[in-house]
Amino acid sequence: MTATTAATATGTGIAQHRRGWLLAFVLLLLTAGLVLLGAGVGSTGSESVLKARHDAVALQIVWDIRLPRTLGAWLAGALLGLAGAVAQGLFRNPLADPYLLGSASGAGLGLALALALFGVSPFATQWLVRVGLTGAAFAGAVGGVLLTLMLANGVLHTLRLLLAGVIVGVVLGAARDLVTLADPDILQAMQAFMLGSTGFVGWTACGIMAAALLPALFVGWVLGRTLDGLALGEATAASLGLPLAFMRAALVGVLALATGAAVAQTGLIAFVGLAAPHLVRSVVKTTHGRLIVLSALMGAVLLTAADVLSRWLIAPQELPVGVLTAVLGGSYLLWLMHKRSPRGSSL
């Protein structure tokens, strides 16, 4: 490598590093604005948070309903964005999403079984039953991932792991549908879960998701070097002396924890985990460690913005946020495919 080439590469790296910091700053500014906006938008109308201080009822609505819902949307989006970046790096596939390992179908089956046993809707339950439903969804998500790992004989073969995840997703999804058919009373609750909703997220759910986000973000950032090595190929990663089996298992654990925590609280929210890493990569080229952090911020902003829109578009009613993210995220990916198709490049 000549001195000129080295200087150019160094200059490009510095520019991308600065762009990454700028993107993080912009996303944090958007976060602050969206949180304030989300705290002031709801079915009873729109008002500023400052005005709500002088009205006890409005203050209670903001503090007990709108603020935890907005923060919950941010946390769920961060978990899904993080999981999407990990999944795409782990499988070396830009179309990988957080639900590839069967976590979504497992969560749906766990919730369906819990609803069938409780015999009630999660939106009319007491706190203890609500926690039981959330725990069942999380346990189902983790169980789906564990079943995928069993079928794939561990994490050594990425393609086998991917295929096992697809099979487990189909089988557990069919089992969920059978449970729903056997007990039609749970159909409405399951529909709300499948469409995705942040409307029932409270402070407890925020605490659970925050407790999952912090370790997942830290481990994902630390293991970003493993994903950088895998991007160069299996042989190259092994030649770098990386303990691939252990690190893959840790990354799968991060993927399961982040996805399970988000799905258990908000249901199935499509395209956030898929689109967030793409949006980050369209702005900055960076290592996987930074990509994971930026994708978490991007996913958080995307889902928070979608949550605010879902409340505002047809107020006083609201759209399921999962439907809105599917429409917007799917439209973005279709546009991206159309934009790049003449050159024959992939996503």
Of 43, 91, 246, the C-alpha closest to 154 is 246
Helix ranges (DSSP H) in the chain: 3-40, 49-52, 56-61, 67-91, 103-118, 127-151, 158-182, 187-195, 203-222, 224-231, 234-239, 244-266, 272-283, 288-312, 321-340
HSE value, Cβ hemisphere, 13 Å, CA-based, for 242: 23
Global pTM reads: 0.85
243 upstream amide cis, omega within 30 of 0 = no
- Give φ, ψ of 344 to 5 degrees: 70, 20
In a domain, 313, yes or no: yes
Positive or negative CA dihedral for 74, 75, 80, 85?
positive
Is 254 within the bounds of a domain? yes
Number of domains in the chain: 1
Task: State residue 10's pLDDT score.
Answer: 59
User: In which domain, by residue range, is 239 found?
Assistant: 19-343
pLDDT at residue 50, as a whole number: 52
In a domain, 232, yes or no: yes
287 φ, ψ to 5°?
-75, 165
> Considering the domain boundaries, does residue 4 fall inside one?
no
pLDDT at 237: 65
Domain-embedded: residue 1: no
Q: Report pLDDT for 124.
A: 44
Q: How many C-beta neighbours within 10 Å does residue 249 have?
A: 15
Q: Which residues contact 13 (CB under 8 A, 6 or more apart)?
A: none
- Domain-embedded: residue 6: no
Q: What is the pLDDT of residue 287?
A: 87
CATH code of residue 198: 1.10.3470.10
Give the pLDDT of the chain (347 residues) as one tens digit per residue. 455 554 454 556 677 778 889 999 999 999 999 998 888 776 555 555 555 566 677 677 778 888 999 999 999 999 999 999 998 888 888 888 888 888 889 988 988 888 888 765 444 444 445 556 778 888 888 889 889 888 888 666 777 888 888 899 999 999 999 998 888 888 888 888 888 888 888 888 899 899 999 999 999 999 888 888 777 776 666 666 667 778 888 888 898 889 988 988 888 898 899 889 989 998 888 888 899 999 999 999 999 999 999 888 877 778 888 888 888 877 877 877 777 665 544 45
